[in-house]
Amino acid sequence: MESYKYIIIGGGAGSIAAVNEFNKHNVKKEDVLLISEEAVLYNRIYLVDYIFGEVTQSQIVYPKELFLKINVALQTRIVTVQPQKRIVIDSSGKKYKYHKLLIATGAKPVMFVKPLMNNIFVLRTLDDAEKIKSRIYSVKHVTIVGCGAIGLELLDKLNSKCQDKEVVVIEKGSTVLSSSLEPEFGKSIFYNIKNFLSKNCKIEFNSTISNIKEINNKLFVTLTNRKKFFTEMIILVSGIKPVFLSHNGSISTLDTAETTFNNEIDKYCKTMFERIYACGDAVRFKKFYYPNYLNAVNTGTIAAKNMLEEKTELKEYTHTNVLEIFQTVYVLKKYEDNYTKQQLTPKKVLSKYSFYKKYQNLLYYNLPQIQKLFLQK
Ligand SMILES: Cc1cc2nc3c(=O)[nH]c(=O)nc-3n(C[C@H](O)[C@H](O)[C@H](O)COP(=O)(O)OP(=O)(O)OC[C@H]3O[C@@H](n4cnc5c(N)ncnc54)[C@H](O)[C@@H]3O)c2cc1C
């Protein structure tokens, strides 16, 4: 059986932050193994830009140099963790022994249509983005379910780049970003957005899909507000669920029904399981669940430090997002129950891409730092 001092499951933002930390500590190559079920290691926050041709695959893939000092197993899915024996088992039955484990398995989209019908898409991985990319240019009607950050990014791009298409966004809340922001902020963002929306793009608030039928290769959608229409593709971006260990040690998507919070981490980013740390979208902290890039980077870094016995506490766990939509960059931040919002004009800001590109190497970010940067420009 292969044996490693440190095994990381996952290849997203949290894992990359941990790898960055391992690199800084000059850990021996034979001591670290990163296992990812995906074929490529890339930053998923640019997937919408990728679909619309604004960035290329080579721009979103993490640089090879990051992985020179560790072992990487791609297209390998871990299905079981046995904390007592300190082993993880992949889908082919291969076992790997660890001394300390980092679970950085992220989250999976909530799919309310199971199994996914033809022409219904989710957007979480590069593979999902490829599928959307190969369909979206050939259709005249697109439906987006969910008007959160990703739904808004999609709407913005379709509105500005594909003016021949009709777009409907379905949102169960009364305004945009309703699951992450207080309504007054969502409303003020929507007020700005309205000025940019073409007559082909609509948002249906306070509604969800109640039924979908496939008729002649199109989808016939009925909403809870009784409206009905045909669409050619539906993109589900209405929410995610953390991927973590279930009680029997298998790795699965945590159902909302599972309220045991076994994916809770402490201030050292350690889980309730012996020698197992966790980070990013897979975890909760103090019962809060704020899945975002910066929390993934912060928790991944802190977890790695503690795995390396450099005792460090998680100082900040926030809902923070840099949203570049409709020619405006919004910096949104929620700390526990307090919100702050900064809205900055385009001339004064860096784009989301240039911002994160700059900080990708640094892998660190905090709000005052961004504000300073934005205001300097
Ligand atoms: C389109 C899009 C745009 C986004 N934009 C922003 C943004 O602008 N700002 C922001 O803050 N956040 C954004 N996010 C969210 C951000 O990408 C996540 O918060 C961040 O990627 C979380 O990192 P992570 O490492 O926890 O998980 P992930 O990045 O999801 O990585 C987890 C990895 O683990 C792998 N994995 C899961 N289970 C297993 C297993 N059993 N075995 C092996 N591998 C496994 C997954 O395939 C995946 O590669 C966006 C997300 C998407 C999808």
Could you read off the pLDDT of 13-58 as tens digits, one per residue? 999 999 999 999 989 999 999 999 999 999 898 899 899 998 889 8
Q: How many domains does the chain have?
A: 3
In a shared domain, residues 117 and 18: no
Q: Whose CA is nearest to atom 38 of ligand 1?
A: 105
In a shared domain, residues 93 and 161: no
CATH classification at residue 41 = 3.50.50.60
- Grade residue 186 by pLDDT with cuts at 50, 70 and 90: confident
77 contacts 38 by C-beta, under 8 angstroms: no
Averaged over 225-234, what is the pLDDT?
A: 96
Bridge-based pairing of strands 251-253 and 240-245 is antiparallel
Pocket of ligand 1 (CB under 6 A): 9-15, 35-38, 44-45, 47-48, 77-78, 104-107, 123-124, 150, 243, 251, 280-282, 291-294, 296, 321, 352
Averaged over 187-205, what is the pLDDT?
A: 90
Give the residue, 37 or 315, on which the prediction is more confident: 37
What single DSSP character describes residue 116?
P
With a pLDDT cut of 70, the percent of the chain lying above it is 85
Neighbours of 200 (CB within 10 A): 16
Q: Which of 175, 201, 236 is the last residue of a domain?
A: 236
CA atoms 328, 350, 49, 137: torsion sign: positive
Distance 179 CA to ligand 1 centre (A): 19
Q: Whose CA is nearest to atom 49 of ligand 1?
A: 11
Averaged over 169-196, what is the pLDDT?
A: 86
- Grade residue 237 by pLDDT with cuts at 50, 70 and 90: very high
Cα–Cα distance, 150 to 132 (Å, whole number): 14
Burial class from Cβ neighbours inside 10 Å (0-12, 13-18, 19+) for residue 31 reads middle
What single DSSP character describes residue 364?
-
Averaged over 261-281, what is the pLDDT?
A: 95
Q: Whose CA is nearest to atom 14 of ligand 1?
A: 45
- Grade residue 162 by pLDDT with cuts at 50, 70 and 90: confident
Average of per-residue pLDDT values in the chain: 86
Distance 225 CA to ligand 1 centre (A): 33
Identify the three-state secondary structure at position 270: strand
- Grade residue 356 by pLDDT with cuts at 50, 70 and 90: low
Q: Whose CA is nearest to atom 51 of ligand 1?
A: 45
pLDDT value at 197 more than 60 = yes
313 within domain boundaries? no
In a shared domain, residues 280 and 256: yes
Distance 281 CA to ligand 1 centre (A): 7
| Range(s) of the domain holding residue 79 | 2-108+240-307
> How does pLDDT run across 95-154, given as a tens digit for each residue?
999 999 999 999 999 887 766 788 999 999 999 999 999 999 999 999 999 999 999 999
Whether pTM > 0.75 for this model: the answer is yes
178 within domain boundaries? yes
Distance 218 CA to ligand 1 centre (A): 31
